[in-house]
Amino acid sequence: MLKCLGIDPGLARVGYAVLLQEGHLLRPLGFGCIETRPKTPLPCRLNIIYDRLREQIERASPDFLSVEKLFFGRNTTTAESVWQARGVVLLLANQFGLPVLEPKPSQIKLAVCGSGTAPKEQVQRMVQRLLGLSEIPRPDDAADAIAAAVTGFSLFRRERKISLSQSGGSHAPLSLR
């Protein structure tokens, strides 16, 4: 059994999802969204994210994190604040000694839908199907975090196989960054 905490980073909304893998089955243990208010000073917003994600890590005791890697075009102001929130996630992972996988959006779409260019709605429907949920997870950020966790499991298995083959089959520690 393995547990992954998937994160869709943001400043206004951070999606999170805890998935349990038992054999080839994935089961959601919880998912949701941490929201911060736009008028709140940035340091306070980052602290809210830190505290709430710390609670999730303490409650879930994940084996690793899967945090979506971000790419921004022209809006550097938005990118800066999201990168700061993402830094909080990476700091927490380090403080708890958790390996971190950082799939790109195209990797997440490929892992969940079979196409690296799948539209957001298709990813959400596939997440619903993969986990046997009665409806699409809401808000969108939570669905994105679930997709990041699903991708994290496939990347974790691949990294584990590479690590074991390079170490002659012994159980060497994983380096997933």
Residues 38-69: pLDDT tens digits?
999 999 999 999 999 999 999 999 999 999 98
Higher-scoring residue by pLDDT: 10, 162: 10
Q: With cut-offs at 50, 70 and 90, classify the pLDDT of residue 79.
A: confident
For residue 140, with 0-12 CB atoms within 10 Å meaning exposed, 13-18 middle and 19 or more buried, which class applies? middle
Q: Looking at residue 89, what is its pLDDT?
A: 96
Q: Looking at residue 156, what is its pLDDT?
A: 84
20 contacts: CB under 8 Å, gap ≥ 6: 1, 2, 3, 26, 27, 28, 29
What DSSP state is assigned to residue 164? H
- In DSSP notation, 23-49 reads TTEEEEEEEEEEE--TTS-HHHHHHHH
Q: Looking at residue 80, what is its pLDDT?
A: 79
pLDDT tens for each residue of 81-98 = 788 999 999 999 999 999
- Inform me whether the pLDDT recorded for 169 exceeds 70: no
Q: Looking at residue 78, what is its pLDDT?
A: 66
Whether 141 is a known active-site residue: answer yes
Whether 159 is a known active-site residue: answer no
Candidate list 8, 58, 121, 140, residue with the active-site label: 8
Candidate list 35, 68, 80, 135, residue with the active-site label: 68
* Strand 13-22 to 25-35 pairing: antiparallel
Candidate list 135, 141, 144, 159, residue with the active-site label: 141
Higher-scoring residue by pLDDT: 114, 70: 114
Q: Looking at residue 162, what is its pLDDT?
A: 46
What distance in Å separates the CA atoms of residue 60 and residue 129, rounded to the nearest whole number?
Answer: 23
Whether 140 is a known active-site residue: answer no
Mean of all residue pLDDT scores within the chain: 86
Q: With cut-offs at 50, 70 and 90, classify the pLDDT of residue 163.
A: very low
Share of the chain above pLDDT 70, in %: 85
Domain ranges for the chain: 2-166
Its pTM stands at 0.86
What DSSP state is assigned to residue 66? E
Q: Which class would CATH give 2-166?
A: alpha beta
